[in-house]
Amino acid sequence: MDALRFPAPTRRTAMLGGSAAVLATITGCTSVGQAQAPPPGPTVSVLTAAIDNEAALIALYEAVLGAHRNLADRLKPLHDHHTQHLAVLRRHYVPGTKTGTATPSPQATATAPGTESHALAALRSAERKAASARADDARRVDPALAQLLACIGACEAGHAQSLTGGL
């Protein structure tokens, strides 16, 4: 009896499958009820730094939105992405596992630049730095957290690009 043969998956199929897995991880749609506790070590310090960075980005967006209300339609969706990133990262943080780093700060503060163009430039710069930091972080942690950090970094790179137009 001949063995069943299945066609090799296409690049599109592989990408869609990988994207679905990443989306499930980011949104918390997993069959496991609780996030696994990260082992003490570099993973925890990377995670707390990412949490602090997301809190700082949120604070910067809130400062800019407060100072430049006419940018709200453009910036509110980006702010909301960071709020979701922060929530996901915090789900992965288990109190008591820190290794010489401070507990993730609950609230960061920022001041908005005076003009809209300077505010957008500050956001763009912060997004680029965050994207770069997440790429560096992804190389220092276990594969599961690396995947999450890479996805967040990709989103931040996209934000930086979207903030480039319309100045």
- Which two three-digit tokens encode residue 167? 């100045």
Residue with tokens 């918390």: 28
The answer to whether residues 120 and 167 touch, using CB atoms and an 8 Å cutoff, is yes
The answer to whether residue 109 scores a pLDDT higher than 90 is: no
Burial of 137 (0-12, 13-18, 19+ CB in 10 A): buried
The answer to whether residue 102 scores a pLDDT higher than 60 is: no
Averaged pLDDT, 82-102: 76
Residue with tokens 């480039």: 164
Q: Tell me, what's the pLDDT at 60?
A: 96
Rg (CA), the chain: 19
**Number of neighbours of residue 119 by Cβ within 10 angstroms:** 22
Q: Grade residue 111 by pLDDT with cuts at 50, 70 and 90.
A: confident
Say how far residue 86 (Cα) sits from the centre of its chain.
7
* First-last CA distance in the chain: 66
Averaged pLDDT, 47-65: 95
Q: What is the DSSP letter of 70?
A: G
- Which two three-digit tokens encode residue 164? 């480039």
The answer to whether residue 65 scores a pLDDT higher than 50 is: yes
The answer to whether residue 135 scores a pLDDT higher than 90 is: yes
Count of residues in the chain: 167
Q: Grade residue 92 by pLDDT with cuts at 50, 70 and 90.
A: confident
List pLDDT tens digits, range 9-42: 555 544 545 554 454 444 444 444 455 654 456 7
Q: Percentage of the chain with pLDDT > 90? A: 56
Q: Tell me, what's the pLDDT at 29?
A: 42
Q: Percentage of the chain with pLDDT > 70? A: 65
